[in-house]
Structure 1
Amino acid sequence: MATKHLTLSDFPEFVNSDGIALVDFWAAWCGPCRAFAPTFERASEQHTDIVFGKVDTEAEQQLAAEFRITSIPTLMVFRDGIMVYSQPGALPAPQLEQLIQGARDLDMDDVRRQIAERESQPAA
């Protein structure tokens, strides 16, 4: 499956669906972004059960601002509508594969329980 170019209007539906969604925030002028693009594309072809999207931070400045993107590329992983990973930096293929496997291995009931606990605690 090829990557989908995401916009402000289709981003929520893309990341809030069941399953795993990987999103690459990038820009055409960014050397590391261009270097990471083939690795991201190959992963999208190998993992057809996962959706892969790209956000051009130049074209989608509001979306990039909402996610406080200050360094690109930034890779985010969503599982069942919950952001489970967000970090700037291009990943080599083996580390991207580890990240994908880690997202697959997550116990989402435990993740939701931890979120609920954190949200129920009073603000410091």
Structure 2
Amino acid sequence: MPTVELTKDNFEETVTGSEIVLIDFWAAWCGPCRMFGPVYEKAAARHSDIVFGKVDTEAQPELAGAFQISSIPTLMAVRDRTVLYSQPGALPPQALEDLIGRIRAVDMDDVRRQAAGSRGAK
């Protein structure tokens, strides 16, 4: 599946309507972003069940600000509307594949139980 350009207009719908969404926060002037782009595109072609979104931080400063993106590229992984990963830096192909495997393996019931427990422990 090709990557999807995420904007403030389609971001919420994309994230809530998909089980797993990877989001690449990038900018055209960013050298590491340009190097990571083809790695990200190839992964998107291999994993058609995952939405691979791209947020151009120059065109979408509201989204970058909402997620406190201060360094690009930043890769974020969202599963079942929960952010499981958010780190700056371009990943090499194998590290991206490893991350995708870890995101798939997360027990979301356990994540929800932990979140509910931390909300109740005040």
TM range (shorter): over 0.9
* Aligned counterparts, 1:80-99, within 5 A: 80-99=80-99
* Aligned counterparts, 1:100-115, within 5 A: 100-115=100-115
Quick one: percent identity of the two aligned structures? 57
Long gaps (5+) in structure 1: none
SS in 1 for 2:25: strand
Partner of 1:45: 45
SS in 2 for 1:29: coil
Change in Cα spacing, 1:3 to 1:18, as seen in structure 2 (3 Å) is: closer
* Aligned counterparts, 1:17-96, within 5 A: 17-96=17-96
> Do the aligned residues in 2 keep the contact of 1:22 with 1:53 (CA within 8 Å)?
yes
Question: Following the alignment from structure 1 to structure 2, what is the Cα–Cα distance between the partners of residues 17 and 85?
Answer: 18
Question: Following the alignment from structure 1 to structure 2, what is the Cα–Cα distance between the partners of residues 3 and 12?
Answer: 16
Q: TM (normalized to structure 2)?
A: 0.97
CA shift at 1:18, angstroms? 4.0
Change in Cα spacing, 1:18 to 1:28, as seen in structure 2 (3 Å) is: closer
CA shift at 1:121, angstroms? 2.0
Q: Return structure 1 stretches of 4+ with deviation > 2 angstroms.
A: none
Q: TM (normalized to structure 1)?
A: 0.96
> Do the aligned residues in 1 keep the contact of 2:74 with 2:88 (CA within 8 Å)?
yes
CA shift at 1:119, angstroms? 1.6
